[in-house]
Structure 1
Amino acid sequence: MLARRLGVVDATTIGLGSMLGAGVFVAFAPAAAAAGSGLLIALVLAAFVAYCNASSSARLAARYPESGGTYVYGRERLGDWWGFTAGWGFVAGKIASCAAMALTFGSYVAPGYEKAAAVAAVVVLTTITYLGVTKTAAVTKVLLAVVLAVLAGFVVVGLPKAHWQPITWDTAGILQAAGLLFFAFAGYARIATLGEEVKEPSRTIPRAILIALAATVVIYVVVGATALGVLGPARLAGSTAPLAEVLPAARIGAAAGSLGALLALIAGISRTTLAMARRRDLPARLADVHVSEIAVGTVVCGLILAFDVRGAIGFSSFSVLVYYGIANLSAYTMERKWTAVAGLVGCVALAGSLPLGSVVTGLAVFAVGLCGRWLVLKWTR
């Protein structure tokens, strides 16, 4: 049984720690390659879709304050298969993100030994989540403070050097960049997945989600504009560590951000797997939150050792956009608000605009999950 220990500040911190992770240090480069000087338009578009999704998620979380997020909402509002699709997409996409975050951390702190450093980080952070959600929130606060300090330093150093170019409009490029930047906004889902560990969930979860998202949008716009103004679209697109080119200490922020995002991801994924195991969509043993945390950490370590998944941003974005599309559809059945319609349309548009390889990989992973569930159901019947 999970205990309700998190207040608004703790829940908001976990959301901020999830969004202000490695995404802010790595997502601007591929987005600039797609959108050029239209990067900020793509950022605003991604933020708008994220707001619509957050609004739907907040309403649903207030109605269904359980662990599992859209997996639970989809089952309750649309049916079992919809819920499974959301849960499977979240778990698969975010486990890939975990491995990517861990490898990003390893590449910053131990070049040449990044896989060993990544596995060590996963082991330590899995241990922290095992010790309880309050420990997770406390460590996230420390890592978030480091990230915010580094981003503030980047803006202070970079803004006086910024020279912005006229915006060139490329609709396809802007849509693709928005889809890639959505990867950096998706962390507010972690607040909803902790629904059974939040005090006064009907009040706390909506407030924490919207506060965390609003703060993140402001920070991303300022940081993105500074990076674009200092480096220019071409240099920004070609950089592997764009913020570090302006402020070398940004490497410390990237390492801390990777750890913060990884910590929140492990906590969020384990709660979704717990919810799926309760309803027999995953092995029943995973209905114990500590077993679920260990299982997630083990799978992430296996992926790190077997593959180089730092290029998983597109696949993760596709999976999470499907997840939020189902959240918006669920919210529409409960209360027909324009934000649910706009969020659903936005999710479909951004998912379809992602690189073809990301879309194909995402569809293949969903097909595996859905076919697997059908086979299991047929066998048990």
Structure 2
Amino acid sequence: MKILAQAALKALRSLDWPLLAILVLMTLLGLTVMHSAVGGTDWRFADQSRHFLLAFFVLWIVAVIPLPRLMQLAPWFYSIGVVLLLGVEFFGETSKGATRWLDLGIVRIQPSEMMKIAVPMMLAWYFHRHQGKIGILDFLAAAFLLAVPFALIVLQPDLGTALLVFASGFCVIYFGGLSFKLLTPVFLAVVVVLGTVVYYEDQICQPEVDWVVLHDYQKHRVCTLLNPGSDPLGKGFHTIQSMIAIGSGGIYGKGYMQGTQSHLNFIPERTTDFIFAVYAEEFGLYGGIMLLVLYGLLILRGLAIAVRAHTQFGRLLAGSMAMMFFVYVFVNMGMVMGILPVVGVPLPFMSYGGTALLTLGIACGILMNISTYRPVRR
């Protein structure tokens, strides 16, 4: 009994209670919206419930692993992920025009998902090992460590996951001491490119124009963003219907399970990437603000954990996890509201999917681990 009591006490001490409270609220809200999106308690609702249970179990496992042990595992985790991405490139399974899955015989995995965690862990480990003597060569080495998995994921092609991996890794590099002055030319180049695309939309969106750096479907997504009405029953259907759903929700929403766009099947992928349209139609502007407040609290808690972390590894990794949540929310809501291209990024704790929830559970477990870690003073 004494051993069990000590184990239970250790388990309780490994949890960050403010973060856990936010996650419980997000879980309840996510299951509520999923119940409406599927129109009841069908197999998808049951699956999502099991996914949440598994995510919380994995969260606890990650939270109780000693932080120094996680830091030791970072290079191995990253190396295995890169090898698996190379395996996808040569032996992966193709589905719907993309090669993202790898069949290992006993399990079928998507290695790009693990890189959302492996890349920031590796970069945080690298900067921790070199803290106090970081120079330009270290930033170039970090950029290379980020560029390898990013390029392999883009080749699959999976631009949405590649952007999330890039964002989580870039945040580590920036928090590691990268000067904002070095980013100014990149920022100006992006503004020029975006301005050129918008100005010459009619010319560059013609079918015969090849964008070279992007696949045809990615070109169509950008052109559809600029003018959804150009193909309202085809490529622009997702964006137009989701915008109609959000707008029809008004200030107060139509009420729980009363959304017409979703329940009449006008919103494609309403349980996954476009679940925010279902939520906004039924709960309106006030519901949307409440959801943003919850996400804001989650991100702020992650940043607070980063500020209070006792190691460089913990600070960089916690900051990256918090900003990863921000990118998830920003990109998903942006594409649903028609201000960003559709790139297939789920809404955290809301969209259906076990792999995405497992990744989020690991990220939250890492945050709890960093929050409760206290180095042993010799």
Q: Would the TM-score normalized by the shorter structure come out above 0.5?
A: no
The answer to which structure, 1 or 2, has the higher relative contact order (CA under 8 A, 6+ apart) is 1
State the TM-score, normalized to the length of structure 2. 0.29
State the TM-score, normalized to the length of structure 1. 0.29
Structure of larger gyration radius = 2
Higher helix share: 1
